Each structure stands twice: as structure tokens, then as C-alpha cells.
Chain A
Amino acid sequence: MSGLAMPKPDDATMRRRDEIVADMRIIVPGEGVVDAANSMRAFESDGLTAYRQLPLVVVLPQTVAQVSRVLKYCNDRNIRVVPRGSGTSLSGGALPLEDAVLLVMSRFNRILGIDFPNRVVVAQPGVTNLGITTAVEQEGFYYAPDPSSQIACSIGGNVAENSGGVHCLKYGLTANNVLGIEMVLMNGEVVRLGGSHLDAEGYDLLGVMTGSEGLLGVVTEVTVRILKKPETARALLIGFPTSEQGGQCVADIIGAGIIPGGMEMMDRPAIHAAEDFVHAGYPLDVEALLIVELDGPGVEVDHLIGLVEAIAYKNGSTTCRISQSEQERLSFWAGRKAAFPAVGRISPDYYCMDGTIPRKELPRVLAGMRELSEKYGLGVANVFHAGDGNLHPLILYDANVPGELDKAESFGADILRLCVKVGGVLTGEHGVGVEKRDLMPEMFTQIDLDQQMRVKCAFDPNHLLNPGKVFPQLRRCAELGRMHVHRGQVAFPDIPRF
């Protein structure tokens, strides 16, 4: 697997596999334990399909008590555990380990409560993101974060990854829309954080859990805020001769005090791939295409469309279409939403990156990507969440050509280094997982990473939960716990004074 080092399997655990499987069957009776290799095949990978590994055993619990007993059993016996929701992670967050129990939460698939006066839904973690909206849409409500995998991805997985989506510019990420969770710690303790009230009672552990990639605890219940659907939504489809003009248009829209419901940009290769695939009517003679969606009451949307149109014109737009019907609005989005499969048609394989940059650095980063594309001899198509600077470069390669996967990964790593260099970050919404794990030192010093590991130590001191993810190198908690004495001095002899 492409040079990725995972924790060395524990021999003692591997030897005791039969005993562990039998014990799991006692804890989770019925159909909840899968140990045959051919049946476990379905779980060997997540959305990052370049990496595959069969787990020790697959366990699908149905109750919180079972989750608690499985974790306590494993904690007591030093057995690793990898939690998994729907398996849609794009960073390998749910990649199994050979010596680890794969704890699959898909049978936690029920909505537990709907409370319209307080606008909250309580769901089990295996409920899909879209499933929450489905449960409340008849009354005109919805759950705002909308990752593009929302048909399949689970709300528990959304918490683990702090998932975003097209609408998070205006409505926030998972972290801003989750009010509470119930979770089980690796030692089997059940803890509730938040609820249908706002803010934490002490340290904001809910905030830490959100985006912790399954390394701190297993989520068993989620309480989310639902919102009333906006009355209307309309979109503008705007073409520019250069990406600089498109980028300036984005900056000017925000500078005018407008926060659109969604603001997406595509570059020339992505525009062409999408248009060839879905025939959305995209202009083919532009370098950058911007979709700006405005939502709210009709009068507000009409007012803002006028403002955005003027801003686009001022920035040299060569085409600007305004959706006149819901059908037309959806057709603007059709190409953007099909961008990934469209790129899949023009290249045998593609590798999707996820860096975020300060928006003003867009021209510089796009130019840098063009240089890298030439250097590696691989094509790249760009779609990005323009409002918040989250890039999704799609690197085109052919896995059947020896060495191309490695080349694509090196290209991707160079793009992320460039993102960090201009003041951005390695991952905007897909997570670190195994994919970007070894790039963490590009952004963090060892001291920075040690602090994150200290959080891990408070939750899971034996590093049993989802090891091999996020951190390039695991350090033992006891070692981290030592106080470092500065330059051999035991105490500072003088009080510092300023």
C-alpha cells in the first residue's frame, strides 16, 4: 500500500483471534459478528479505495450497552478498535487494521426524537445525513450541513469528520449544528456532552470530539439543530476569462456584505469535463466558472441577485445567467455536482485533494498547480468551495501504469505543502486519516502535535482507538507526561520582570 506504514499487528491479539471472535458473539449475539474473509471483504476499505485491509473481525452492535462492553473488553485486553459509520471517508479514517476489531455502527439507524418547538432532532449515529432531513422535511425543516455524500454518509461519521458541504459558508459546519452527543470512551464509560441546550457546561469536549476522526470515543447518539427551509433559492452562473477575475468577484461579493448560501468555482478542465458529461449548458470559452446561490425570502434573493450581477460585470464577467426556474437552478448545479464522476470519465483514476487557502492566494496556488502538473506530467482539474477557500484539485492518473499512483500522491502532497505555505491548511473537510497523516509536520511542530496527543491520552491512554490515523508518530502517553526541564535547570533562579 503505497509506502504507508501502519502500526505493527500485535501477535498476541492475532493468536487469540478465535477466542476474541467467540467473545464478541457473546456480547453481540445474532448476526452482529462477521469473521469470514469473504464477508469481511465489504469492509476492507472506505472512500479512499487505494488502501485496503481486512480487519480482525467485524462487529455490528445494536445497543449502547453492547458498544460499551465491546470497548471495555478490548481495552482490558489491549485489543485495537477501528470505528466505522457508512465508510464514505475520503481520507482512510475507517481503514481497518489487521489486528483490530472493526466496530461498524450501521445498525444504529433510528431517529430517536423530533422536537419542532425546540428545533432539534435526536438520531442514532448510523442515520444518514439526508435521513435527518427526510424525517422533518414534510414540516418544512432540514438539517443544514450537506456533504456531497449525504445520501450515504452517517451523522456519526459527520461528527467524527466535522463534515462540511456546499452550504457551510452560510450555515456552518457539523460543529456549528450539533448540540449534543452520547459517546462511549475506550474504557467503556458512557458520557453525554451537551443536549438540546447550547454551549458546554465545562471544557468544550463536544467541540473536541467533532472532527476527532474516531480516535477519542465512539458516538452512540447525536442531537442536531434543524432549520426551516428558506422560502426560495436562485443561482447565478458566471464565467470569467481568468481565474484572477473570478477570485476578485468572490472577494467583492463578500466585501459587499453578502454571504451566499453557496459559492462554487470550477476551472477550465473541470468545466469541460462536466459539460461533456451532463450538458448543463456551461460556457466553454471561460477559464473560471462561478456558481453563486442566494437563498431566503424572494424579495431578498431578487435584491441580492441584482447586487451580485453588478459585481460580476464590474469584474469582467463574459457570461452571466440567472436561474429563472427551479429546474434551471438545478441544471446550474448538475455540472458541479457531477464534477467528480465527470472527471472519472476523462481519466482512468483521479485523486481528490482537500486543502484550504486564504481566498486571495487563489491565483498563486492555481499557477503553482499548473507548474506541478507539468513537473509530474499529470493533469489536474479544480473544483472548489470559493467562499471559504476550500480547494478540491482532482489529479488525473492511471493506476494501471506502474508508478503513477505514487506520482499522483507526490503531486497531491506538493499541492498541500503549497496550501500550507500560503497560510492555509492540509484538509478543509475530508479529514487527515491515513492519507495526510505523514504531512502533519508540514503544518505543526512536534510540540504542537504533542498537545493534540495529550488530548488523545486523556481519552484513550493506551492508543487503542483507531491507531495509525491522524498522527504521523504515536508517542506513549507516559513519555508525553514527563515534565521537560528547560536547559537542565530545575528552577528559574530569577523571577522574570517586564
Chain B
Amino acid sequence: MTTFTPTTPSEVLSTVAWAVAEGSPLEILGHGSKRGIGRPLQTEHTLDLSKLSDVTLYEPAELVLSAKAGTPLAGIEKLLAENGQQLAFEPMDYGPLLGGEPGKGTIGGVLGANLSGPRRLKAGAARDHVLGINVVSGRGEAFKSGGRVVKNVTGYDMSKLMANSWGTLAVFTDVTFKVLPAAETEVTLAIRSLLDDAAAAAMALALGSSAEVSSAAHLPERIAARVASGSLGSEAATLLRVEGFGPSVAYRIAALKTLLGNAGPLEEIGGEVSRLIWRDVRDCRPFADGSEKPVWRISMTPSQSHQMVLTLRMQAAVSAFYDWQGGLVWLRMEQGDPEAALLRGLLRKHGGGHATLVRAAPSHRAALPVFEPQPPALAALSVRLKQEFDPKNIFNPGRMA
């Protein structure tokens, strides 16, 4: 068991070249904050990228930042905040949910897991903001794709191919992201006491208006109490976030209040409490209970999700809450059984999508497909891509299987 800790891209290249020549698989690791996601790995060696760490380019006026793959996300976010900027896709922190510390994770991990947050609805995910990458493939070849400019259609977008590949296609050495101005003001409008179906209707109405709602979540009764240190109380809360320049935010919040006046009791939440609520929704804090109870992350058609959850409740005890207007469902299985076949069957009946078992005991993760199984033609295509880039199955073998 050897842990390689390269400090330069060329050291990454020579480590991978060695592993390829030896046919010796590597676990690709940053801070390990998402290590518990995917099928458990049994590699002899580990490639630890946490010492490959540096912001190599940051030009606020050009809205671009490049960093070595192992650069801590927290440091990048701090640097951006000092300049009134942010990663607009608001990458989530899996640490608390998976029983780790908050504030860990590297920029390479952000791309490898295609992270996003409540602003996904309006601003996209890591895939939508990555501009370029330097990587080392499982053939021991260092290559680049993309660049540092936003408008670029020169060749295939390999950066997107590598997003969400969970370290199974290539090792990132450098990544370049588009950065954006942080909003001057944020206000959250909460509609209280709605049941899931009424919340779905209210969120659809809000998102279909010109109020430019940047995030829409529904926390059912009892879940609501588990964000922002309980400051929401326990009544169900349907949350709409509006961001931008002060006068515009005030106008749009007023427009939403008029639009949703009949939906239920309304509350306006600003400042630090609003930020804490969305951080906790982003990081799935309501289920960060220190347990190993299975937690699913389900991406699906927004209007269908509450119906699927209702049907599921007839057969299993679950806790659920919704982000992305209902397009993201966080689901905790209260009896300890992941019920993968039941859940995925229901998902197919409700418009399709994908369900990822983001938290489960290693025995469950070893026995079940953690990532959504693909239809045969698509699965075969993914296998062919894996063979092109990592023919000897050196990188995180089996993690996405």
C-alpha cells in the first residue's frame, strides 16, 4: 500500500505511467470528502492530489480562474468572495452528509463529481462553468482540452466528458472555471404550511414568472426545522430565492408576493438567515444525522417528483425534501434498506431521470449499483469510452459500475 503525493503535473504523469506499466490500479483522491460515494474501491495504491495545490491564474475582470486540481475549494471560494465573485453553480459540500467535516473538498473533485447547488436551476452545474482542463489519461498521456475563454467550440468538449466521471477516465492536474459576480442582495420568500403537491404548483408558478427565481426548494413539515439552526420553525416551508441588485430584488419579491398571495402564508427572509438556509439545503443537512441510513439523490422531471414520493411512501418509510423546483429529491430510507429496485422502478414510471445512492453502508454500496444503471446501448458506449481513456482499468476501478 503506497500513497503517492505528487506536487507537480509531471509527477502525476510519471506516477500514472508507472501504474499503467505495472497494471496497478490507483484510487484517485483529493481530500476524500466524497470517498464514500460509489462502489467501495480495493486498490493497492492511492494517488493523493492534495499537494497539487495552487491558484495559477485569477483575473477577476476576465471572469476566469485556473487552479491545480488539488486546490482546496474553500480557499478558492474565499479568494473569489474577497473580489465580490463566486462559483455561480454553488458546489455542494458532501462532508456533513457523509459524516465528515464541512469545508473540505478540492476543485478537481468539484468537476469530477459535477457538483452544483440550489442555483443549479438558473446557473447550471460545474459542467456548465468549466472552460478547460489538463489531465493525465489511463494511457499515461498528458493532454489538454478547452482553454480560458467562454466562447469556444474548437474540438470536442472533453471537459464535459470528464465532469461526473468520478475519477474513472483521467486524473485532473489543472482546471479552469468561469467565475461570476456574486449577487449584491439575496432575499428568500417562504410560503408556509403547504403539502407537497401544493408546493409543486406554487414553485412552477414562480419559476414560470419573470421574477428570475434562482432557487426553489420545498422542505416538508419537520424537515424545515433542520436547516439554519431551526430558525425556520417546524412548519413546511416552500422557499424561493431571489438574487441581484437591491432595487430589482425588492421589485421581484413584491411581484412574487402578488403572484402567490393566495398560495399560503408568506414570509420574507433576508441576509444571513437566507444564506444559511440555502447552504443547508445545498449540503443536504436535514439528513446529516451521523447515521448510515441510505440517502438517495434523485434528478427527475420537477412536476413528477412529489407524486413519485407519495407512491413510494405506500411501500417504504421515507423522509424527503425537494430542491430545483422538485427536480432534485433528497430521500432518506428510514428502515435502512435502500429499496433500489423499487425506487428506480417508480422513477422510470414518473418520467425517468437518475437516482444515485449517495450514502449507504459499504455492504449496500458493494451489492447495488450506486449510479443509475444505463440501457444497454448507452452502457456499451460508456464502456467503450472508458476503454479508450483507461484501457487497463487503472483509475478508481469499479467505482461507477
Q: Which of B62, B157, B204, B248 contacts A207 (CB 8 A)?
A: B157
Among listed A11-19, A168-176, A316-324, A397-405, interface-contacting one:
A168-176
- The listed residue with most A CB atoms (<10 A of its CB), out of B60, B385, B387, is B385
Q: Most B CB atoms within 10 A — which of A254, A356, A458?
A: A458
CB of B139 within 8 Å of the partner chain: yes
Given the known inter-chain contacts A255-B61, A259-B180, A425-B149, please indicate yes or no for A190 contacting B21, CB distance below 8 A: no
**What B residues does A118 contact at CB under 8 A?**
204, 301-303, 327
**Residue A208 contacts which of B137, B156, B250 (CB distance < 8 angstroms)?**
B156
Do A175 and B157 touch (CB < 8 A)?
A: yes
The stretch that binds A, out of B119-127, B188-196, B221-229, B280-288, is: B119-127
**A360 to B374 Cα, complex, angstroms:** 45
- Determine the distance from Cα of A429 to Cα of B120 in the docked complex, in whole angstroms: 24
Bound form: Cα–Cα A210–B157 in Å: 8
Asked whether B245 lies within 8 Å of A303 as measured between CB atoms, the reply is yes
Q: Are B2 and A495 in touch, CB under 8 angstroms? A: yes
Give the Cβ gap from B156 to chain A, nearest Cβ, in Å: 5
Assuming the A-B contacts A211-B157, A440-B155, are A203 and B5 also in contact, with contact meaning beta carbons closer than 8 angstroms in the complex?
Answer: no
Task: List A178-211 residues whose CB lies under 8 Å from chain B.
Answer: 185, 189-193, 195-208, 210-211
Binding stretch for chain A, among B6-14, B27-35, B90-98, B102-110:
B6-14
Residues of chain B with a CB closer than 8 A to A254's CB: 61, 63, 181
B349 at the interface (CB under 8 A from A): no
> Which chain B positions have C-beta within 8 A of A455?
156, 158, 161, 385, 388
- Residues in A whose Cβ lies below 8 Å from that of B124: 172, 176
Task: Tell me the bound Cα distance from A391 to B116 in angstroms.
Answer: 31
B154 & A425 in contact (Cβ 8 Å cutoff): yes
B114 touches which one: A191, A204, A426, A443 (CB < 8 A)? A204
Partner of B141, one of A197, A388, A451: A451
Q: 1/0 contact trace for A422-446 toward B, CB 8 Å?
A: 0111111111100010001001110
Neighbouring B residues of A116 by C-beta, 8 Å: 204, 208
Bound CA span A200–B154, Å: 22
> Nearest residue in A to B17 (C-beta to C-beta)?
A486
The majority secondary structure among interface residues of chain B is: mixed
Min CB–CB distance A157 → chain B (angstroms):
13
With A197-B301, A197-B353 given, is the CB distance from A451 to B137 under 8 Å? yes
How many angstroms between the C-alpha atoms of A496 and B388 in the bound complex?
25
A450 interface hit (Cβ, 8 Å): yes
Query: Does B271 reach chain A (CB closer than 8 Å)?
Result: no
Do the beta carbons of B210 and A228 come within 8 Å of each other?
yes
| Contact A299 B251, CB 8 Å, known A359-B62, A492-B21 | yes
CB interface residues, A 222-262, toward B, < 8 Å: 228-231, 251-252, 254-259
A447 within 8 A of B: yes
The answer to whether A204 and B164 have CB atoms under 8 Å apart is yes
Determine the residue in chain B with the shortest Cβ distance to A490.
Answer: B21
Closest chain B residue to A206, Cβ basis: B160
CB-CB contacts of A467-498 with B at 8 A, as 1s and 0s?
00010000000001101101001111011111
A483 and B181 within 8 A (CB): no
Cβ–Cβ contact B151 & A390, under 8 A = yes
CB contacts (< 8 Å) of A197 on chain B: these are 299-301, 327, 351-354
Bound form: Cα–Cα A161–B120 in Å: 24
Pair A496/B4 contact, Cβ less than 8 Å = yes
Known contacts A195-B353, A299-B251: A208-B160 contact under CB 8 Å:
yes
Alpha-carbon gap, A429 to B372, bound state (A):
33
Query: Shortest CB–CB separation between residue B137 and chain A, in angstroms?
Result: 7
Closest chain A CB from B270 CB (angstroms): 18
With CB as the reference atom, state the residue of chain A lying closest to B159: A207
Residue pair A459, B143 in contact (C-beta under 8 Å)? no
Residues of B close to A193: CB separation below 8 A: 378
- A140 adjacent to chain B (CB < 8 Å): yes
With an 8 A cutoff between CB atoms, is B82 at the interface? no
Give Cα A173–Cα B128 distance, bound, in whole angstroms.
Answer: 9
Is A407 on the interface with B (CB-CB < 8 A)? no
A346-364, CB < 8 A from B: 356-360
* B369-401 to A contact mask, C-beta < 8 Å, 1/0: 001101101100110110111011000000010
B-contacting residues, A295-321, CB 8 Å: 296-300, 303-304
The answer to whether B169 touches A297, judged by C-beta atoms less than 8 angstroms apart, is: no
Q: Which of B17, B181, B208, B210 contacts A119 (CB 8 A)?
A: B208
Proximity string of chain B (55-75) to chain A, C-beta cutoff 8 Å, 1 when within and 0 when not: 000011111100000000000
Cα–Cα distance between A357 and B59 once the two chains are bound (Å): 14
Chain A residues contacting B199 (CB-CB under 8 Å) are none
* Interface size of A in residues (CB-CB distance below 8 Å): 109
Closest to A257 in B: B181
CA distance A194 to B250 in the complex (A): 36
Closest residue on chain A to residue B303 by CB atoms:
A117
Q: Is A454 an interface residue (CB 8 A)?
A: yes
The CB with the most chain A CB atoms within 10 A, among B5, B63, B378, is that of B378
**How far, in angstroms, from A164 to B164 measured CA to CA in the complex?**
24
Instruction: Please give me the residue from chain B that is nearest to A455 by CB atom.
Output: B156
Could you tell me the distance between the alpha carbons of A172 and B127 in the complex, rounded to whole angstroms?
Answer: 12
Query: Within the complex, which residue of B153, B161, B207 is in contact with A427, where a contact is CB–CB below 8 Å?
Result: B153
**Assuming the A-B contacts A198-B327, A202-B374, are A207 and B163 also in contact, with contact meaning beta carbons closer than 8 angstroms in the complex?**
yes
In the assembled complex, how far is the CB of residue B242 from the closest CB belonging to chain A, in whole angstroms? Answer: 11
CB–CB A202/B400 < 8 A? yes
Assembly CA distance A445 to B134 (angstroms): 13
Judge whether B212 is part of the interface by a CB distance below 8 angstroms. Answer: yes
- Kindly provide the distance from the CB of A334 to the nearest chain B CB, expressed in whole angstroms: 24
Minimum CB distance partner of B355 in chain A: A201
- Beta-carbon nearest neighbor of A195 in chain B: B352
Q: Which B residues lie within 8 Å of A119 (CB)?
A: 207-208
Nearest-CB distance from B14 to chain A (Å)?
5
Alpha-carbon distance A118/B304, docked complex (angstroms): 9
Q: In the complex, A43→B21 CA distance in Å?
A: 50
Tell me if A452 is interfacial: C-beta within 8 Å of chain B. yes
| Residue A378 lies at the interface, judged by CB distance under 8 Å to chain B | no
Cβ contacts under 8 Å, B22 to chain A: 491-492
Contact check, A486 vs B210: say whether CB atoms are below 8 A apart: no
Interfacial chain B residues near A76, Cβ < 8 Å: none
B184 at interface, CB cutoff 8 A: yes
Task: For residue A430, give the distance in angstroms from its CB to the closest CB of chain B.
Answer: 7
Distance in Å from the Cβ of A185 to the closest Cβ of chain B?
Answer: 7
Is there a chain B Cβ closer than 8 Å to A111's Cβ?
Answer: no
Asked if B293 CB lies within 8 Å of chain A CBs, one says no
Q: How far is the CA of A223 from the CA of B60 in the complex (A)?
A: 34
Determine if B139 and A484 form an interchain contact, defined as CB atoms under 8 angstroms apart: yes
Kindly provide the distance from the CB of A90 to the nearest chain B CB, expressed in whole angstroms: 11
Report yes or no: A117 in contact with B247, Cβ–Cβ below 8 A.
no
Q: Which listed residue, B18, B59, B114, B184, touches A495 by the CB 8 Å rule?
A: B18
Interface: B84 (CB within 8 A): yes
Whether a CB of chain A sits under 8 angstroms from the CB of B316 is: no
Q: In the bound complex, do residue B127 and residue A204 qualify as a contact, i.e. CB atoms below 8 Å apart?
A: yes
Contact digits for B194-218, partner A, Cβ 8 Å, 1 yes 0 no: 0000000000100111101000000
The reply to whether A483 and B11 form a contact with Cβ atoms under 8 Å apart is no
CB-based contact B149/A357 at 8 Å: yes
- CB neighbours of B164 from chain A (8 A): 199-200, 202-204
Known: A206-B160, A257-B84, A424-B147. 18 other contacts (CB 8 A): A168-B151, A196-B351, A198-B299, A202-B400, A255-B60, A300-B247, A358-B59, A388-B150, A443-B147, A444-B144, A448-B155, A451-B389, A452-B145, A452-B156, A458-B387, A491-B21, A492-B17, A497-B4
17 contacting pairs across A/B (C-beta < 8 A): A115-B303, A176-B128, A191-B378, A202-B164, A202-B382, A205-B382, A300-B245, A300-B247, A426-B154, A432-B154, A432-B155, A452-B145, A483-B391, A492-B14, A497-B4, A498-B4, A498-B7
Q: Which B residues lie at the A interface, using CB under 8 A? A: 2, 4-7, 11, 14-15, 17-18, 20-22, 51, 59-64, 84, 114, 116, 120, 124-125, 127-128, 137, 139-145, 147-158, 160-161, 163-165, 169, 180-182, 184, 204, 207-210, 212, 244-245, 247-248, 250-252, 255, 299-303, 324, 327-328, 351-354, 371-372, 374-375, 377-378, 381-382, 384-385, 387-389, 391-392, 400
